[in-house]
Each structure stands twice: as structure tokens, then as C-alpha cells.
Amino acid sequence: MRIGIFDSGLGGLTVAAAIINELPDAQLIYFGDTARVPYGPKSQKTIQKFAEQNTRFLISKNIDMLVIACNTASAYALSLLKSSFSIPIIDVIAPGVKSALGVSKDAIIGIIGTIGTIKSGAYQEALTRLKPRATIVVKPCPLFVPLVEEGFLNHPVTKLVAREYLDVFKRAKIDTLVLACTHYPLLKPVITEVLGNQVLIVDSAIETAREVSLIANEIRLSGKDNSEKGMHEFYLSDVDYSFSEIAIKALNLGELDMQYLNIEEY
């Protein structure tokens, strides 16, 4: 099974790790759009163009299914990709919403993500469609992305920023918080420290991997999975000096098969 997966950069590795855990036999073809990161503050039109190019590239690598391992791209481009391409496509929003509704006792749910994800209203819509009476509190947390990329996972500056961003959730007395951005799971300890243990934290990576596993089974049963398992492949659209090291650690790999490409050609 060749599973194509893309993100704006390295955040999608959290989803890749969960997929490898769930489907050890799958071969990942990972694309990180490091030339055009961050996606969070960009317009829907731009993100749709990027998502189409990324998908065309991954399809050229003969994938059986596609995972959009980026919340901003899922929020802005899922319907477009589904209507333009015929392979199975899985996003990170539906699994995160399902998981939040499964664990939330009082349906007072907080969502944090990039400006694009929050502005798109994708999570808010998906939650209210399934639970019309849910109370939803949202807050874009753009500074969390560079803090994670700087490795400031447990840094006093990150704690200060987290207290500022998350205060609204304390006041609203949420019982569940959805981490609607691929970078945020790495800040779980700081977020829990600020909000307290009683707030349940939903990280959609695990639920997304379960969904991928279900689709993978369907593909196998229909006999369309004809690939032999090879090494995971990694492609980036520009240099990212920390990518290799982080990917090797996150995915527990011995070495990394990584190449660069010009994504604008797709």
C-alpha cells in the first residue's frame, strides 16, 4: 500500500508516525512543502493551488490513497481535492471532530489552530453538524508554530504565550480542546499545564491513522493494492536543515530516503 501524505513542512510527521504505528506494512510517500511553509496565514485560493500541486505530485508517485496531514489544507482544500481527483482522500478534520465528540462530556469544546483553519469555519461546521447544541470556543494560535519549529517545547516563552492564548478557554470552562494544527501535539505538556488535567486534549493524528487503516483495508479487499513494500520516501520543496533529524526520530527510522523537487512544476 503506497500512502501519499503531505503537509506544509514537518508537522505532518505526527500523522505519519501514527499511520506507521497503525499500518506497519504501509509505504509512505511524504511531501513537505518547505518552500512555501507556513500555510496558516495564507488565503484559501493560495492553499487550494498548493494542495492541488502537492496532490498531482504525489499521484505521479503512484499512490493508492492520499492523506492531507495539514489542518489548514484540509480546511481550505478538501472538497476541491475530492472533486478533482479520484483516489481516496483522508483529511485530519473529520477524525478530530469524531474523537472530540466521543470524549467530551458536556460538549463545551475548544479549538485551536492556524488563522486559516479557524477562519475557514471547517471545524465549527463539522462539530455543529454532528452536535447542534455543542458550545464551541475558538482561538487561532499562530505563534505556536514557530515556537515548535524553534524547539521551544517547554520554554518559559512558550508558557507565557500559552497562558495568553488559552485564557479564553479557562473562562469558558471547556471540557475538551481540539489541537487543530499538526504542530500542536508537541505542546501538549505546556497546554495541559496551563489548562489543567481535567480538560481532555484531542490530537487527531491517532484517529486519522485509524481512518487510513479502514480505507487501506477496503483497497486491499478490492485487490487494487499492487505495490511491493519499499522504503518510505520523503520529498521536500526546499531545504529544511532539521527535517531529516526530526523525521528519523519521530518515525524511528535508521536512515532517510529524501529528495528535493520543484513543486511549481506540478
What is the set of active-site residues? 70, 181
Q: Which residue matches cell numbers 505532518?
A: 12
Task: Count residues near ligand DGL (CB under 6 A).
Answer: 16
95 binds ligand DGL (CB under 6 A): no
Q: How far apart are CB 7 and ligand DGL at their closest, in Å?
A: 5
Residue (1 or 180) nearer to ligand DGL, CB: 180
Among 34, 53, 54, 72, binds ligand DGL (CB under 6 A): 72
Q: How far apart are CB 112 and ligand DGL at their closest, in Å?
A: 11
Q: How many CA atoms are closer than 13 Å to the CA of 92, on its beta-carbon side?
A: 33
Q: How far apart are CB 91 and ligand DGL at their closest, in Å?
A: 11
> How would you classify residue 57: left for phi > 0, otherwise alpha for psi between -120 and 50, otherwise beta?
alpha
Q: Which x/- pattern over 166-185 shows residues binding ligand DGL (rule: CB under 6 A)?
A: ---------------xxx--
Among 70, 111, 194, 201, binds ligand DGL (CB under 6 A): 70
- Give dist(CA 26, CA 217) in Å, integer: 11
Kindly report the CA angle at 173 between 172 and 177, in degrees rounded to 5?
95
Query: Would you state the torsion angle of the CA atoms of residues 242, 243, 248, 249, taken in this order, to the nearest 10 degrees?
Result: 60
- Give dist(CA 142, CA 167) in Å, integer: 15
Among 8, 27, 55, 204, binds ligand DGL (CB under 6 A): 8
Q: How far apart are CB 98 and ligand DGL at their closest, in Å?
A: 18
What does 144-155 look like in DSSP terms, one character per residue?
A: HHHHHHTT-TT-
Among 138, 145, 166, 206, binds ligand DGL (CB under 6 A): 145
Q: How far apart are CB 72 and ligand DGL at their closest, in Å?
A: 4
Alpha helices in the chain (DSSP H): 13-22, 44-59, 71-84, 93-103, 115-120, 122-130, 144-149, 156-172, 188-195, 204-221, 243-251
Whether 30 and 243 have beta carbons less than 8 Å apart is answered as: no
Question: Which residue, judged by CB position, is nearest to ligand DGL in the bound state?
Answer: 40
- Give dist(CA 213, CA 238) in Å, integer: 30
- Binding segment for ligand DGL (CB under 6 A), chosen from 17-25, 37-45, 131-139, 237-245, is 37-45
Residue (145 or 194) nearer to ligand DGL, CB: 145
114 binds ligand DGL (CB under 6 A): yes
Among 5, 37, 97, 200, binds ligand DGL (CB under 6 A): 37
Residue 134 CA to its chain's centroid (Å): 23
Interacting residues toward ligand DGL by CB under 6 A: 7-8, 11, 37-40, 70-72, 114, 117, 145, 181-183
